[in-house]
A and B are shown apart, each in its own frame.
Chain A
Amino acid sequence: MSPAILAEGLVKKYGDVVALDGVDLAVPEGTVFALLGPNGAGKTTTVRILTTLLRPDAGRATVAGFDVVAEADRLRARIGASGQYAAVDDHLTGAENLEMVGRLYHLGVRRSKQRARELLERFDLTEAADRPVRGYSGGMRRRLDLAGALVADPPVLFLDEPTTGLDPRARASLWDVVAELVAGGTTVLLTTQYLEEADRLAQTIAVVDHGRVIALGTADELKGQVGGDRVELTLSRPEDVDVARRALAPVAAGETRADAATLRLTIPVSTGTAALTSALGLLAAERVAVRDAVLRRPTLDEVFLTLTGHQAGEPAKSAKSKEYSR
């Protein structure tokens, strides 16, 4: 079966600034694919090309089998897109917004109205359905925007930072919606800066930096790239930090990181639980008091740091200027 989304060598330049520098993607039908990266990495540009808002300078892409440039019209009938900020009309009510989108997908009057009501209910907006969107909270607007993307029940869905600015409850309910859609066969491409989100939702994660995919795989595969597990210890006394660090040298498989403020030591290890046991033994011998000890897989933050040399949260330096150039 051909992939629902396929991109080959996408390049997009704004003047001298290269926003996309040859992006390749292949998203199998019925899966969630996450583009993970800092601001300015090229995530939104990629989504804009795939949703026909921008034309690539080079490369080609198909969505649901249609070329993003040559068959843009037919492609648009098969996708739904929800952007970084809610693209909803302030003066219209929630119901009117969704009915308008339905009409523009050419669903017809009755079907548009019916679909609007279904989606308002699904996104817990029934009570606010007939109020102008101007009075909605930020979270309500985002939900309405997402509902707009689902009006035509599209087989391929693009969500550009869908949970940025949502409270934890709203975020969790959005994750449920995505899981439900994928269970029903929808293909979802989402962008996120939240590693937890990509880990939680996506089968495949592409780490994007400076307009290039720098790593691709499942969350577990990416974690594998940064080596084994981590032993994480929280100490009781600040004066123990240096002692503990020296004492743990025999079990560390890499560089131990110590956070003086939280008294937390992170030690890469290669022998799993055995390493945890010996670490605790070594510290007991030095009479270091340990408040908390865990063995865990590396986080995607650590993956990102290893792959790019900077944290996911901080924008890549050269990409920063691009944001202001348009």
Chain B
Amino acid sequence: MANEALQASAVEPDTRDQVVGNSARHNQTIARVVLVLLILFTLFPFYWALRTALSTQRDLLANPASLLPVGFTLDNFRAALGLISTSDAVASGGSGRTFAFWKYLFNTALVSTVVAAGQVFFSAMAAYALARLNFPLRNAVFIMFLAALMVPGVVLLIPNFVLIYDLGWINTYQGIVAPTVLMSPFAVFFLRQFFLGINRDLEEAAKLDGAGYFEIFSRIILPLSSGPMLTLGIIVFITQWNDYFWPFLVGRDEDVRVLTVALSVFRSQTPQGSPDWPGLMAGTLLAAIPIIVIFLFLGRRIATSLQFTGVK
């Protein structure tokens, strides 16, 4: 595929190729080398984790440099998924520490879905008001949201923790989702910019037909912006899925523990001497799989949208 992309550019009739044919070919070679290095550089850590997770701990110690799995086994994945008993896992060289993958997966998926849906929907409501409705203080409210965009998380961390603590929400789902489920300054800003670009004719017509604001919002604005809202939702979902510091502070309890926190706990439980690398890598890969799936299906869409919002 790399070759196709590059050859397509090489065979294209291009004045540059005729003028400086040699140097153009030279540049193509450099480009190909950079691309290959980049692919190796990007994919190697994943391959290495996979190769390790498919190896047996004992054989790994004897042969750490083999590029293929040593003592091939699926037991590390089975153990992480709870498919074999702890004693069997220990017998095959695992640490025997429990990693309740399905529970952490459920917690992570729940928290990420709620935050993505809530943040996008409530931000869209606010963005609609800011983009379309006239009311006193509109600019002041918008500037307030813009200013919040600049405030780094560190200032909010301690006060928000104290607030969640006072509410008695430590180690609850609502404690984990509360700060992000109702809005994010970025989501409001992003959606407002998009709504401003929507043609007003449909809305004007709907107004004259007696449609109310909520009808206009739900029947016109939302359907017309389903694409950007979906992209935004995916980005919020991934951000929440990857978040570590906040759930680590307010959701360390086993019942609400998300995957990132679970991985760090699993890692800190491994003894310094001989960590259970195959087990740890199996858990790490399992935690990354949902993101990899999203990447495979929607990577291109996310890349395009980030480039657009990043520059604008």
A, B in one complex: no
Q: Could you tell me which B residues sit within 8 Å of A by CB distance?
A: none
Q: Could you tell me which A residues sit within 8 Å of B by CB distance?
A: none
